[in-house]
């Protein structure tokens, strides 16, 4: 990868995300219609999710036909270039359906498994979170920085829930242990935007077990380039459910990482295996 490639990938992702966000906004006029359900009756997909992903894939592969692409709503596409795009065409689909202005187009570009360029574009508000590895992250062109971490008892923590009822019951039990130990909890509804909120200093941390790469790929770079640490650790719930492969996704300002992770271990979010931080 040449030194200027992250910036070029970021600029392409931003052009494509702007086009997809316009489509997503346009399709919501008059209300979003649910096209199908996936893992459970509350895991919905709209026509706009599919149209947005089709558009993003088409535009990226027109510009860079040798790249690989993985997205939430389509089949994996494999190419020889070494660059893999990771797409969530709408992150926060339930908010989209209800008209809550917290849903985003998320596009990350990975090289050798690490995100090197990222765009998370809130399609409702137009706010653009953008990052390139080593070049920092911005919101609408202004550089982002995490907030200094207060003591744990004064931290505002973002979290999320999956769509399976057994998973949700386990997640709720962990949140019940965490809530009395921190300032408060927010469940905003978009993992990608949650990571951007940590980056911009509007939250002190994020934790959720089970999000997929398309949920966190772009947002993880926006967060780390703003001074956060990001990790995929063994999930406590995975151990309880006897499932391998589920990870707990954690982000926090670097100065608040160690005690946050220790607290999450006490509350059962993190499993007993030694943590394997990826960023």
**Which residues of this chain interact with ligand IPD, rule CB under 6 A?**
88, 91-93, 160-162, 189-191, 208, 210-211, 215
Distance, in Å, from the CA atom of 274 to the CA atom of 74, rounded to the nearest integer, reads 34
CA distance 104 to 107: 10
Torsion of CA 52, 15, 78, 93, to 10 degrees: -30
190 binds, among ligand IPD, Ca ion, none (CB under 5 to 8 A by kind): ligand IPD
**Span of 137-145, 163-171, 208-216, 269-277 interacting with Ca ion by CB under 5 A:** 208-216
Instruction: Summarize the chain as % helix, strand, coil (round to 5).
Output: 40, 30, 35
Please provide the size of the chain in residues: 279
Residue nearer to ligand IPD on the CB measure, 33 or 154 = 33
CA distance 146 to 124: 23
Tell me which of Ca ion, ligand IPD, none is bound by residue 208, counting a contact when its beta carbon lies within the kind-specific cut-off of 5 to 8 angstroms.
ligand IPD
Strand 83-91 versus strand 68-71 pairing type: parallel
Q: Judged by CB, which is closer to ligand IPD: 64, or 222?
A: 222
Nearer Cβ to Ca ion (250/261): 250
Nearer CB in complex with ligand IPD: 25/145: 25
- 24 vs 270, beta carbon nearer Ca ion: 24
Cα gap 251→196, rounded to integer Å? 10
53 binds Ca ion (CB under 5 A): no
- Name the phi and psi angles at 39, rounded to 5: -70, -20
Determine the size of the site formed for Ca ion (CB under 5 A).
5
* 110 is an interface residue for Ca ion by CB under 5 A: no
How many whole angstroms separate alpha carbon 277 and alpha carbon 230? 7
CA-based nearest residue to 161, from 181, 137, 132, 189: 189
- Taking the complex as a whole, how short is the minimal distance between the CB of residue 215 and ligand IPD, in angstroms? 5
**Smallest separation (angstroms) from Ca ion to the CB of 27:** 14
Find the binder of Ca ion among 130, 215, 251, 252 (CB under 5 A): 215
* Residue 64: CB minimum distance to ligand IPD, A: 24
* Closest distance of CB 122 from Ca ion, Å: 14
Is the Cβ–Cβ distance between 110 and 82 less than 8 Å? no
Q: Which does 189 bind (CB under 5 to 8 A by kind): ligand IPD, Ca ion, none?
A: ligand IPD
């Amino acid at each position: 990868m040449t030194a200027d490639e992250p910036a070029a990938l970021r600029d392409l992702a931003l052009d494509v995300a702007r086009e997809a966000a316009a489509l997503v906004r346009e399709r919501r006029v008059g209300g979003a219609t649910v096209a199908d359900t996936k893992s459970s009756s509350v895991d919905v997909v709209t026509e706009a999710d599919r149209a947005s992903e089709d558009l993003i894939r088409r535009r990226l592969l027109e510009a860079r036909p040798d790249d690989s692409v993985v997205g939430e709503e389509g089949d994996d596409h494999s190419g020889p270039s070494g660059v893999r795009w990771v797409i969530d065409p709408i992150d926060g689909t339930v908010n989209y359906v209800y008209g809550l202005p917290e849903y985003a187009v998320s596009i990350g570009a990975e090289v050798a498994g690490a995100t090197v360029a990222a765009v998370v574009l809130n399609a409702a508000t137009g706010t653009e979170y953008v990052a390139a590895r080593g070049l920092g992250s911005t919101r609408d062109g202004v550089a982002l920085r995490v907030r200094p971490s207060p003591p744990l008892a004064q931290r505002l923590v973002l979290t999320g829930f999956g769509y399976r009822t057994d998973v949700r019951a386990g997640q709720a039990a962990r949140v019940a242990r965490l809530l009395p130990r921190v300032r408060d909890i927010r469940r905003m509804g978009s993992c990608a935007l949650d990571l951007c909120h940590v980056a911009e200093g509007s939250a002190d941390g994020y934790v959720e077990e089970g999000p997929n790469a398309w949920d966190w790929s772009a947002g993880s770079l926006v967060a780390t380039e703003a001074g956060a640490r990001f990790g995929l650790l063994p999930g406590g719930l995975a151990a309880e459910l006897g499932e391998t492969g589920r990870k707990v996704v954690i982000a926090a300002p670097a100065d608040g990482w160690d005690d946050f992770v220790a607290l999450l271990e006490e509350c059962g979010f993190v499993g007993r295996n030694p943590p394997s931080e990826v960023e």
